[in-house]
Amino acid sequence: MILVLDDFLPHYDVHELHSVTIVAPPGAVMDAVRGVTPREVPVLVALMAIRSLPALLRGRRSQLGRPILDGARTSGFVTLGETAHELVLGAVGRFWQPAGDLRRIEPADFRDFAEPGWAKGAVNFKVEQEGGRTVLSTETRVVATDPSARRRFRRYWRVVYPGSAVIRIAWLRAIRERAEGQAGSSPRSARA
């Protein structure tokens, strides 16, 4: 399967890939991807609270009831591409800074953005059918725009990667619970 993600970030410095099997149709899974809220992923709330502290101190309110993807878009991520089987979001930022220093960029400009001192990050959610079940995967890719930014990002990544992985895994589980609940599956008996 050709990835939309490859259209926007074919080369990267670091990446992270996780997947989960879900007993629900692909459409229900993608609906769940779009609908999961921070309340359904408590570890996300806890770990992101540390990063969000500057915004909270400035009086910005938490949006626990809004879908996670809506919050990402509000913070500076943009939808880079979307098909029936894949959704890709991206952001340009200085992710190693305390608040991430996100810079809004148009999707058409994302692939070729190369201004020194920044990094580009993209994340996808992709569904595939395998033997009557849906496999949902998420891949995160990041590339820095110059050697200095690459060094800064890699130092940051060494520290945050374990938390990032925990968030992605918990997020996928929340999506699974939502999708299987909406599809009326019996998740505990249907999973192998």
For 20-24, what is the mean pLDDT? 96
Domain membership flag for residue 165 = yes
> Over 80: is that where the pLDDT of 30 sits?
yes
In a domain, 155, yes or no: yes
Residue 26: half-sphere exposure toward Cβ, Cα within 13 Å: 15
pLDDT band for position 44 (cuts 50, 70, 90): confident
Does 100 map to a domain? Answer: yes
Full residue range of the structural domain in which residue 169 is found? 4-184
Angle at 133 between CA 71 and CA 89, to 5 degrees: 25
Residue 192 is assigned to a structural domain of this protein: no
Specify if 190 maps to a domain: no
Q: Kindly state whether residue 189 falls inside one of the protein's structural domains.
A: no
| pLDDT tens-place string over residues 84-116 | 999 999 999 999 998 788 999 999 999 999 999
For the stretch 133-186, pLDDT in tens is 999 999 999 999 999 999 999 999 999 999 899 999 999 999 999 999 987 754
Number of domains the chain contains: 1
Residue 191 lies in a domain: no
Structure tokens that stand for 181 in this block: 């609940």
Could you tell me the CATH number of the domain that includes residue 144?
3.30.530
Asked if residues 80 and 8 have their Cβ atoms less than 8 Å apart, the reply is: yes
